[in-house]
């Protein structure tokens, strides 16, 4: 977790797509059941909304947040809000599509905050 947090530091520029892919592969971050690790990985991948990495990982991140991948967090606010915002900054259409489809799976408080 600390390593991933360091990569999120403002002092380090966003990583290139190849580095993010390698990071995800080496540490299996796109498939780990550890929500803390996946949150930080998706925040790194989606950090630069105009990057090819952000566009490549936006759907995976949205699926994870709504639980469509079978290992997701299903609306846990700590994880869904920052990832939903990041996905929305990359491609609002993807964020809205996945949220509308799985809205009822979210906790009522999370739904209320995301609906705003």
pTM of the model: 0.88
Query: What is the structure's pLDDT at 17?
Result: 96
Mean pLDDT of the 29-53 span? 94
Question: Where in the chain are the domains?
Answer: 2-115
CA–CA gap between residue 114 and residue 24 (Å, rounded): 27
Neighbours of 25 (CB within 10 A): 11
CA–CA gap between residue 50 and residue 87 (Å, rounded): 11
Query: What is the structure's pLDDT at 115?
Result: 81
**pLDDT at residue 12 greater than cutoff 70:** yes
**pLDDT at residue 71 greater than cutoff 80:** no
> Which CATH number is correct for 2-115, 3.50.50.60, 1.25.40.320, 3.50.30.10, 3.40.50.10330?
1.25.40.320
Query: What is the structure's pLDDT at 75?
Result: 63
């Amino acid at each position: 977790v600390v390593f991933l947090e360091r990569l999120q530091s403002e002092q380090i520029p966003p990583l290139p797509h190849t580095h993010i892919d390698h990071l995800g592969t080496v540490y299996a971050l796109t498939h780990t059941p550890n929500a803390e690790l996946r949150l930080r990985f998706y925040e790194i991948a989606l950090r630069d909304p105009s990057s090819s990495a952000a566009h490549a990982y936006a759907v995976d991140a949205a699926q994870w947040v709504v639980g469509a991948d079978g290992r997701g967090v299903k609306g846990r606010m700590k994880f869904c809000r920052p990832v939903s915002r990041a996905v929305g900054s990359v491609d609002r259409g993807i964020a809205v599509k996945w949220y509308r489809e799985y809205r009822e799976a979210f906790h009522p408080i999370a739904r209320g905050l995301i609906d705003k």
